[in-house]
Structure 1
């Protein structure tokens, strides 16, 4: 193995940081540079985990471990294809690991989907998690919301809309988000799935949490079937939780949670904004495919959130499979039409698609890193022939942020939390984030404001 091999990781989310940890454990000599468009590491853990799920946020301590090593550097505010190219990384490092996640979402592909009030659950989650790219969400005129999807993202957005303000008051949500959620008058939230509850991908803990929210009356629009033969434990527990919810009676509820299975959207109705959703009953044909039955119903709604899956988007200068929404690879080694691309690797959702939970990325990253280190040991990787990221960025006059800059952001969030009696308050604007990086203090409000300088 070469002395001091250099590895660049593009993306500081869970998959990238698990890969960094595996590299440190697998080699006592490797040097690692982690690049991210944001000045804040942790990716989906910071901006995708519901703020009221603080136990999951505890994973951050594990993900932060690589940054304690003097063999790891963090380059924030660095965007692939804008500040540095994939070709420059390939020339400057023994290996490049792409850990870009899945930054786009699937569409419903129905008439009216582009009306105001129709958006992806990913965008809604980014808003309440304080992502600097997120657009503010007004709930002023929303009395009913529909979310399409039967996974944990749908559960999260439904729970946030239905939760009493005091449940959210101790989270790290930006103040403007908390104010919007405390003031809204959403009385009905629908969770709609194309298949039956036995096919849903909810995890039971999250489903039970939603079904037992204080002051929320569950309304099940279909009978819950008996446990299918051979069903796994999660499916059995989910169906049991749904049956219990069907029997639950809440005195003087402030809102209703509607669960409607075997339905699909066929149209969003409105002039400029969504006013209703047309649903069609579904069933399975002889080959097991979901098909419409022709039976329709109309659900009044002013907000529609699609939570039907994420997908990756192309990375500049990197092969991409548009059908699967991933970087084509063989066991984590990037390939293109001509075959293998030595020195390029991929981890996480951009490798395998948006499957699994945050912890799934640990074993996934370890598998890719095992292959990378084996290739390095076997002498299969081209030697670096160019400058590393620090030299490229300096030559271009671009100042990346560092892990110390993130620590200042972290301290500012905790200080803001003390003022509001909370553990932290997210710095949620590009303006405030970059001011903390450049000047050590926020120069404006900690709310949404513009794009990065």
Structure 2
């Protein structure tokens, strides 16, 4: 009798395990940028039955690929083709116009899904924390990028380009991007997907000089050689670099890793050597210029009557520490750069979606180990909310793939509770219906996509973006 009981218990255990294995894993991804799509792609590729639902607060997918990549870098947006293939799979669902934290809570998602991946990036700005930062025409580079890329939240911001000089605080790729857009001839920009309203403002721009300010020296610039090469060869524009700032670089270059070596070689060559005849002739006739200002930390934005910017006051820095570990220390000496526009490009910050999450306020990321959120089984992070705002799309792809692999590994190892049946999007659909939230499907997004491309074709450009949420919804639904 005891043996029979044991056999029945064993059979019950086997059946329970089989039921667990037969349960369809329901995974949701919050955010539809590169981190979200690469994570979804990896999960669908690595698990034969997993269902992935992706939530996006905008009616449009692709995040920073659509709203962050420079308009004159269309080749960087080619990953959209891969994302569209992922979105076409039967086990994938896109739910646009749904903001997690407003329309649906993280607790709702946890009740509906076996695993949740937070991939909503870093959408807040780091500030300078100096007097005058709230003056008109002091903008974050993030918002300026959103403006010229047609992001609905930023499409209507006020940008006054009726000034000769602009200062960009920062020397990374985003800083280079905004400087290049300010200085590129309008006939070139007209062939990009910059919205017509922004093109009209740029066509009237008086900006002739853009200075990019960094706290440390030229060996510490954060942009890459591709962006520098574009600035060196920018039509109608010339570099204005002080040779004395760069003379020491050639002593440092031989010991540097190859990518860094190539970057600083080009920087030193541009500053110290005579350009070739063709480039020299182009520089001689150029009406616009860009420059790099080193060893300066902003201490105050100055105004001249009213609330408009007239200049940026900098503390002059000195470098302390050995090479490779130097830090900038402000001195009592100051200087002022005259300008009518200040763009702050000092980084992005993530935010905590829920107070219960282990958010690190210093790094502005959610604490995790290889994508697994610390202390929260079944909860994962991918992209900038996991790593901080570093790298390019390739590094975000790596983060997405690694997180996707972690999710699948945990499903297979039963590290995620798969005993409970989860309804996924059906359960969330009821919550959204009760609130009257209109959800945009990927098929509906494609309607808006076709509209934008047709509108762009009539103007001789790749697309003309719709920049208001109301119009997006009208065209999608």
Cα deviations by residue, 1:95-138 (Å, 9 ceiling, x for unpaired)? 00000100012111222111111111000000001111113343
Counterpart pick for 2:446 among 377, 388, 407: 407
Q: For the Cα contact (< 8 Å) 2:241–2:292, is it kept in 1?
A: yes
SS in 1 for 2:378: strand
In structure 2, what is the Cα distance between the partners aligned to 1:306 and 1:140? Answer: 16
Structure 2 partner of 1:321: 360
| Structure 1: 5+ residue stretches without partners | 439-453
SS in 2 for 1:236: helix
SS in 2 for 1:100: coil
SS in 2 for 1:59: helix
Cα deviations by residue, 1:297-327 (Å, 9 ceiling, x for unpaired)? 2111111111111110121355122121011
Equivalent residue runs for 1:169-184 within 5 Å: 169-184=190-205
Q: Displacement of 1:28 after TM fit? A: 0.9
Q: For the Cα contact (< 8 Å) 1:142–1:302, is it kept in 2?
A: yes
In structure 2, what is the Cα distance between the partners aligned to 1:93 and 1:46? Answer: 28
SS in 1 for 2:415: coil
Structure 2 partner of 1:67: 87
Does residue 183 of structure 2 align to residue 145 of structure 1?
no
Q: For the Cα contact (< 8 Å) 1:89–1:389, is it kept in 2?
A: no
Structure 2 partner of 1:295: 333
Structure 1 partner of 2:245: 223
Q: For the Cα contact (< 8 Å) 1:17–1:63, is it kept in 2?
A: yes
Q: For the Cα contact (< 8 Å) 1:189–1:258, is it kept in 2?
A: yes
Structure 1 partner of 2:476: 437
Does residue 116 of structure 2 align to residue 120 of structure 1?
no
Q: For the Cα contact (< 8 Å) 1:204–1:238, is it kept in 2?
A: yes
Cα deviations by residue, 1:65-118 (Å, 9 ceiling, x for unpaired)? 211100000000000111111011111111000001000121112221111111
Count of paired positions: 434
Q: For the Cα contact (< 8 Å) 1:127–1:137, is it kept in 2?
A: no
Counterpart pick for 1:245 among 261, 270, 285: 270
Q: Displacement of 1:294 after TM fit? A: 2.6
Structure 1 partner of 2:182: 161
Higher helix proportion, which one? 2
Q: Displacement of 1:140 after TM fit? A: 4.0
| Structure 2: 5+ residue stretches without partners | 1-20
Structure 2 partner of 1:445: none
SS in 2 for 1:207: helix
Equivalent residue runs for 1:7-156 within 5 Å: 7-134=27-154, 135-156=156-177
In structure 2, what is the Cα distance between the partners aligned to 1:303 and 1:349? Answer: 28
What is the TM-score of this pair, normalised by structure 1? Answer: 0.92
In structure 2, what is the Cα distance between the partners aligned to 1:268 and 1:2? Answer: 62
SS in 2 for 1:375: helix
Structure 2 partner of 1:191: 212
In structure 2, what is the Cα distance between the partners aligned to 1:390 and 1:403? Answer: 17
Cα deviations by residue, 1:362-384 (Å, 9 ceiling, x for unpaired)? 21112122221121112121245
In structure 2, what is the Cα distance between the partners aligned to 1:198 and 1:176? Answer: 38
Cα deviations by residue, 1:198-227 (Å, 9 ceiling, x for unpaired)? 111211011110122111121113521324
In structure 2, what is the Cα distance between the partners aligned to 1:318 and 1:300? Answer: 46
SS in 1 for 2:307: coil
In structure 2, what is the Cα distance between the partners aligned to 1:377 and 1:387? Answer: 20
Cα deviations by residue, 1:394-430 (Å, 9 ceiling, x for unpaired)? 3423221100111011001111012111121111111
Does residue 456 of structure 2 align to residue 417 of structure 1?
yes
What is the TM-score of this pair, normalised by structure 2? Answer: 0.88
